[in-house]
Homo-oligomer: A and B are copies of this chain.
Amino acid sequence: MARIITSTEIQEWDKYYRINILNKLSGFKSASLIGTLGKEERTNLAIFNSVMHIGASPYYLGFILRPTTVDRHTYINIKETNHYTINHVTSTIYQQAHQTSAKYIDEVSEFDACKLTPSYIDGFKAPFVEESVVKLGLEFVEEQLIRCNQTRLIIGKVTKIILPENSIESNGDIRLDHLDSTIVNGLDTYYKAYFLEKLEFARP
């Protein structure tokens, strides 16, 4: 039997119950670590589940940033340095990646606290996560303030892609399950991907 839940019932739910179920009903998401550089070259790392594709030419990605009613170092650092990295979370580091969501004091780098290794490529002003397999380097392009709840869509242009040799097939296919990218549902539940099928371009 199906259950129908209305807005009225949703609004009556306890806050944490509501956040939990509604984040999960939004669907499966990719798990990504965003790396930035702050004051005094201090590294910052935070997990996000909202990385989205915006366009392929140029290659733009977006992510959702919660309201800036508290300091959000990822945002402050991106606006300051113009650079950030998006690193796929693998099944060997998802616990450490999740731990970056803890509220550390300003002086602590999540890289140190969560035992992940910052790595750099020449001239790029943000740290990549050494343990990640697919790593993207971005330059900030645009932000949109969402009027209904003051969240922000942050958009960047990917200028560096780092991934293992021979992981791209001749037609541009790439198997993220073979590269061990993980999936998150809601804010706390991690999954791996199990391949079903690659379908052909659809025609009537």
Copy tally for this chain in the complex stands at 2
A199 to chain B: which residues have CB within 8 Å? 95, 98, 188-190
Given contacts A24-B173, A98-B202, A144-B146, contact A7 B157 (CB under 8 A): yes
Question: Chain A 160-201, CB within 8 Å of chain B: the 1/0 string?
Answer: 111111011001111011000111010011111111111111
Chain B min CB distance to A186 (Å)? 8
Among B155, B183, B204, contact of A113 (Cβ-Cβ < 8 Å): B204
Among B13, B192, B198, contact of A194 (Cβ-Cβ < 8 Å): B192
The size bracket of the interface on A is 35 or more
A70 to chain B: which residues have CB within 8 Å? none
A13 to chain B: which residues have CB within 8 Å? 172
Given contacts A30-B28, A161-B5, A181-B28, contact A18 B113 (CB under 8 A): no
At the interface, yes or no: A109 with Cβ under 8 Å from chain B?
Answer: no
A165 to chain B: which residues have CB within 8 Å? 1-3
Would B159 and A148 count as touching, CB distance under 8 A?
Answer: no
Would B53 and A171 count as touching, CB distance under 8 A?
Answer: no
A201 to chain B: which residues have CB within 8 Å? 188
At the interface, yes or no: A50 with Cβ under 8 Å from chain B?
Answer: yes
Question: Chain A 85-119, CB within 8 Å of chain B: the 1/0 string?
Answer: 00010010011001111111100100001000000
Would A159 and B6 count as touching, CB distance under 8 A?
Answer: yes
